[in-house]
A and B are shown apart, each in its own frame.
Chain A
Amino acid sequence: MLRLEHVQKRFKDKVVIQDLSLEVHDGELLVLIGPSGCGKTTTLKMMNRLLPLSGGHIYVDGEDIAALDPVKLRRNMGYVIQQGGLFPHMTVRQNIEIIEKLEKRPKDEMTARTRELMAMIGLDPEEYLDRYPAELSGGQQQRVGVARALATDPEYVLFDEPFSALDPPTRMALQDEVVSLHEKLNKTMIFVTHDMDEAIKIADRICLMKDGEIVQLDTSENILRHPANDFVSDFVGSGRIWSAPEFIRAQDIMIDHPVKCRGDLTVEGCIIRIQTYRVSSLMVVDKAGRLIGVVDKSVFSKRPRPDAQADAVMRPVRFSVHPEDQLIDMVKAIPAEDVGRINDIPVVDGDNRLVGLVTNNNIVSKFIRPWLADAEAEEGDGR
């Protein structure tokens, strides 16, 4: 376990980190994120003693790192930087094996390990081991950098904005790679980035920093859903949640007050209500607010008696969702024969009480409105 206690960092008189405490759980992938100058990289570099602390303590597995030999500490903490920080005069093999060689490990053990690592990062050993970094693409260099960091099988791996210089497709592929490595290897990983999409994609927890302080430390979803303050929501961006569909739930996109009626409303009354609110259907609820059926506009083409009651003309609820249901699951759950036919999905709570309605219209407008807002804000800035 990695624990930071009241860590402070000053560069000369400038205080970069005032008082930072943080606990990294074993086996988690924690992302440090924030605007430039927030102290995220500084925090990371203090963990492996690339930078000395001005105050406070950092404990690795209960030991204060100030008391540890920095070289030993770092060999238990893989370190990956932009472009992998590979040594240009060494081949891929030499780069990966450098620390093992310094530790004088047996050659065959080293060779086996290197092959294993190459397989892990998805590079063909025959083709790549004898190449020099200059002969690799940016993404390949980065993979080798990751392999080198893993060579000594460290408990921790630190990533310092490793992918920021890569083109988007390569970056995304590498993010997937990190996620799968993390799942496979069960190592504690700490990842610094300034890219919120990247953070959401890979993080178990996100630590959002500003001016040397932690603003919010929580799971990706909670940061998206429950920003602690305006800074967080601004940093995350109002439309951000749409880039992570797995976090979108029914309650995020539903209309809170669907147009509804009781079972005893007359057909005439229903027609008036539908026309007034310009909706395509009415939700029929009982006294307790429980959903009992739906009156579709189409039902009036069958010319029911005007004094007939809604509960006589309504159809049963074919499909409803829970407010916590994810959008993706909702889409998946729609019966195949109903896809395209369903315009409105009622949202009901555990007691079948109607709490909202998801309509095609409001999904589209929810998608678009944040972008519109951003665009307007930008235009406003332009002026």
Chain B
Amino acid sequence: MIKLWFYMVHHGAEIWKLTVEHIEMTAIAVGIAILIGVPLGILISYVKKLDKPIIGAANVVQAIPSMALLGLMIPLLGIGQKPAIVMVIIYSLLPIIKNTYIGIADIDPQTIESARGIGMSRGQILRKVQLPLALPVIMAGVRISAVTAVGLMTMGAFIGASGLGYMIFSGIRTVNNYQILAGAIPACILALVVDWLMGLVEKLVTPISLQKDFGTDRKVLRRKRKHQKIILITAACLIGTAIVGSAVSSRAASKGQIVIGSKDYTEQLVLCHIYSDYIEAHTNLKCVPKENLGGTQVCYEALKSGKIDMYVDYTGTLYGDILKKSGETDMDRVYQICKKNLKPQGITLMHQCAFNNTYTLSVLPETAQKYNLHTIGDVAAKSGQLRLGTTLEFLNRNDCLKALERQYPGIHFAKQSGIDSSPRYTAIQNHEIDVTDAFATDGMLKKYHLTVMKDTDHVFPPYYAVPCVKTTTLQKYPELKKAINALAPHLTEKRMRQMNYEVDVKGRDPAEVARDFLNREGLLK
């Protein structure tokens, strides 16, 4: 508890910034959803033929898993806040459309007929009678949407939209419970506050005569409404200033900035900050880290489309996963093939770093002893008795499990399962799986005392870290090239593993670890 408190106090500024971002994105999303949903709801209450198709479509969209929707959004909208906001809008539409429709449809037809009968036009009936009477129901829909949106928006961090989800996702990646809670608790409080505020709005828009406690003293009711109004106006002002403030500060930062992306695991986070700090120290450019974008494909697409200016990938990943090639395992040849093939995509590969974070298989020491496992070949031979649990990437990539199957045709694990990157260490610790994939520089290997299998047959291609930079960015800021390449020799396997260990095991902040490293090596001078 105390540790959590310290963590939250220590990261207070960051949590606050993320919370504001979160509120901002949620407010925009819900706002747009209202602007789309309410007119649609009104439309289908007038044109009855449209109600089934529109509500049906909203239902179907609601049923798409949010992760899938986010994934589908990347090719269309890239990464960052935009696709996240669009996703939340799409999810928020259904309750708003439905409630608007129901709110209007449920009005006593006699009331509408008498409105027509006394000579009100359609527009006047809508404005003076239908909307005021339906507003409480519409607001109930908006309330549901808004509360859901607060939670849903955390998913946005998956594609680099920041917000409180960033804390949660980084926390999961680095097995840092405090960080998860530092994101989850504010998100939870935020949802409750939004629910409460929206409840007030709902009450306020309910005509006084339709209130539940109507009939109590009119004066008391009026005073209560006045208090509610004050609270809401204050809240609106706070949100407004926060949004304007962040908009101003983000505009100020948009000149000459390099957006550095990262995938969603510790080493990538650390590298992202190392490059960011180093470039800022040695050039006049401002760097914006965009961490936790997800897997390779997300980062690569983001770079290609120019959403980010650079990220660090690995030669083997580019070779096998992006270029869909296989067979070559020589470090330099792989690098050259990648460099040549990525050039037409507008991506320039910088110098390779000094560490090779290749895939490897690891087991618990007792498992190694029990089955006498030393090499990957040994694991393949005993695979019938072993349960494999790896990342989804490992299962699907051409140069991972498939490469193993090509090298050892007889390999067949007793059970194969895909687990997210961090939980698989917990799984192996709990003997739910026997073998897992790992990266050579993974700090977790040290934490969980796992035994790494030697790749004597060169099954896996080389995975030297290599910064990939948008060619146009390099042309615009030539000073980048020198800065980026100068770092390469300093990033060795040992140092990298140490840094990963600091984050994963000691629970330190990747940005801090990166800065410590740069300071220790005297690279910021």
Contact = CB atoms under 8 A, between A and B. Distances in A.
A88 B118 contact: no
Interface in A69-112: 71-75, 77-79, 81-91, 98-99, 102
Contacts of A158: 117
A134 B117 contact: no
Given A81-B110, A88-B133, A133 B121 contact: no
A74 B116 contact: yes
Given A89-B133, A132-B208, A102 B120 contact: yes
Query: Which of B116, B118, B209, B214 has the largest count of A CB atoms less than 10 A from its CB?
Result: B118
Interface in A48-88: 48, 50, 71-75, 77-79, 81-88
A214 interface: no
Given A74-B116, A82-B110, A87-B128, 14 more contacts: A71-B120, A74-B117, A74-B118, A83-B110, A84-B114, A86-B111, A87-B115, A91-B209, A98-B118, A98-B120, A99-B120, A102-B124, A102-B128, A132-B209
A46 interface: no
B483 interface: no
A89 B208 CA distance: 7
A274 B123 CA distance: 82
Given A85-B111, A85-B113, A87-B111, A71 B209 contact: no
Contacts of B208: 89, 132
A134 B110 CA distance: 16
Nearest to A82: B110
B117 A48 contact: yes
Contacts of B133: 87-89
B117 A85 contact: yes
Given A82-B110, A89-B133, A98 B128 contact: yes
A148 interface: yes
17 contacts: A71-B120, A77-B119, A78-B118, A81-B110, A81-B114, A85-B117, A87-B128, A88-B111, A88-B133, A88-B209, A89-B132, A89-B133, A89-B208, A102-B124, A148-B118, A149-B118, A158-B117
Given A132-B209, A134-B209, A134-B214, A85 B120 contact: no
B283 to A, nearest CB: 63
A50 B113 contact: yes
Query: Which of A87, A91, A133 has the largest count of B CB atoms less than 10 A from its CB?
Result: A87
Given A82-B110, A102-B124, A134-B214, A89 B117 contact: no
Contacts of B120: 71, 98-99, 102
Contacts of A99: 118-120
**By DSSP majority rule, is chain B's interface helix, strand, loop, or mixed?**
helix
A50 B118 CA distance: 10
Contacts, number: 74
A71 B133 CA distance: 22
Closest 3 CB pairs of A and B: A85-B114, A89-B207, A79-B117
Given A81-B110, A85-B114, A72 B209 contact: no
A302 B405 CA distance: 144
B348 to A, nearest CB: 65
B358 to A, nearest CB: 70
Given A81-B110, A132-B209, A133-B209, A87 B117 contact: no
A74 B129 contact: no
Nearest to A87: B129
Contacts of B113: 50, 81, 85
Interface residues of A, number: 33
Interface in A120-150: 132-135, 145, 148-149
Interface in B181-225: 207-210, 214
A140 to B, nearest CB: 14
A78 B120 CA distance: 12
Given A88-B111, A88-B133, A98-B128, A81 B117 contact: yes
Interface string B90-114: 0000000000000000000011011
Interface in A275-296: none
A89 B118 contact: no
Given A78-B118, A102-B120, A89 B210 contact: yes
A329 to B, nearest CB: 42
B203 to A, nearest CB: 14
Contacts of A91: 209
A86 B111 CA distance: 7
A91 B214 CA distance: 13
B313 to A, nearest CB: 61
A113 to B, nearest CB: 15
B104 to A, nearest CB: 14
Contacts of A84: 114
Contacts of A71: 119-121
B110 A85 contact: yes
Contacts of A85: 110-111, 113-115, 117
A89 B130 CA distance: 10
Interface in A149-166: 149, 152, 158
A346 B156 CA distance: 102
A22 to B, nearest CB: 20
Contact of B210 (A86, A88, A102): A88
Nearest to B124: A102
A13 B126 CA distance: 31
